[in-house]
A = this chain, B = another copy of it.
Amino acid sequence: MVLVVIRTVLRPDADVAAYEALAVRMDALVRTIPGFVSAEDAGELSLVRFASLEALAAWRNHPEHLEAQRAGRERFYRAYRVEVYEQVRAYDGPAGRG
């Protein structure tokens, strides 16, 4: 399992409506990528999970997503940080309740 943690800060002059429309489109598009697992917003963070680094690469290089990434850099983001992680382990609890 691969986890991508994305933190973004919008430019003060960003067109928020255009940004949100693009974000909605990207949220729909990422769900079509084979190996996509889940996406969630958690405050200022987005957490996106893929089954493998290959699935993430397919998303990262999707032509429409590449265009959106460029729009993000050029028009929307003052700053962003993307962190890519591979899962080591996971566990649930309490036993029998989780």
Closest to A76 in B: B94
Q: How far is the CA of A93 from the CA of B2 in the complex (A)?
A: 21
Question: Which one of B53, B86, B94, B95 contacts A85 once the chains associate, using CB atoms below 8 Å?
Answer: B86
Minimum CB–CB distance for A8 against chain B, Å: 10
Q: Mark A41-83, 1 if CB is under 8 A from B, else 0.
A: 1111101000001000000000000000000011001111111
Q: Are B82 and A90 in contact (CB under 8 A)?
A: yes
* Number of residues from A at the complex interface, CB < 8 A: 33
Given the contacts A3-B5, A42-B45, A45-B42, A83 and B78 also touching, CB distance less than 8 Å? no
Do A47 and B84 form a contact, CB below 8 Å, given A77-B93, A79-B93?
A: no
